Amino acid sequence: MLRIRNLQTYYGRIRVLDNVSLSVKPGEVVTLIGANGAGKSTILNCISRLIPCREGEIFFQGQKINGQPPEAVVRLGICQVPEGRQIFQPLTVLENLELGAYLRYGKRNRGSIQQDMDMVFSLFPVLAERLQQISGTLSGGEQQMLAIGRALMSRPKLLLLDEPSMGLAPRVVADIFHTVVKLRQEGLTILIVEQNARAVLRIADRGYVMETGKIILQGTASELLEDHDVKRAYLGRDYREFTEGRA
pLDDT in tens, 1-20: 999 999 999 998 899 999 99
Tell me which architecture the domain covering 1-77+158-164+189-228 has in CATH. 3-Layer(aba) Sandwich (3.40)
CB 144 within 8 A of CB 180: no
pLDDT value of residue 247: 37
**Alpha-carbon distances of 7 from 26, 57, 137, 201, 214, rounded to whole Å:** 21, 6, 39, 24, 10
Domain limits of the chain? 1-77+158-164+189-228
Percentage of the residues of the chain whose pLDDT score is greater than 70: 93
Residue 245 pLDDT > 50? no
**Percent of residues in the chain assigned helix, strand, coil, to nearest 5:** 45, 25, 30
Cβ–Cβ < 8 Å for 246, 202: yes
Tens digits of residue pLDDT in 21-37: 999 999 999 999 998 88
In the prediction, which pLDDT does 108 show?
A: 65
Decide: 165 and 194 in contact? Cβ < 8 Å.
yes
**pLDDT value of residue 48:** 96
The pLDDT score that the predictor gives to residue 107 is 56
Supply the pLDDT for residue 238: 43
Would you say residue 131 has pLDDT above 60?
A: yes
Mean pLDDT across the chain, nearest whole number?
A: 90
- DSSP bridge partners of 60: 2, 63
pTM of the model: 0.89
Lowest pLDDT segment from 6-15, 44-53, 101-110: 101-110
Least confident among 109-113, 159-163, 208-212 = 109-113
| pLDDT score at 112 | 82
Residue 239 confidence class, pLDDT cut points 50, 70, 90: very low
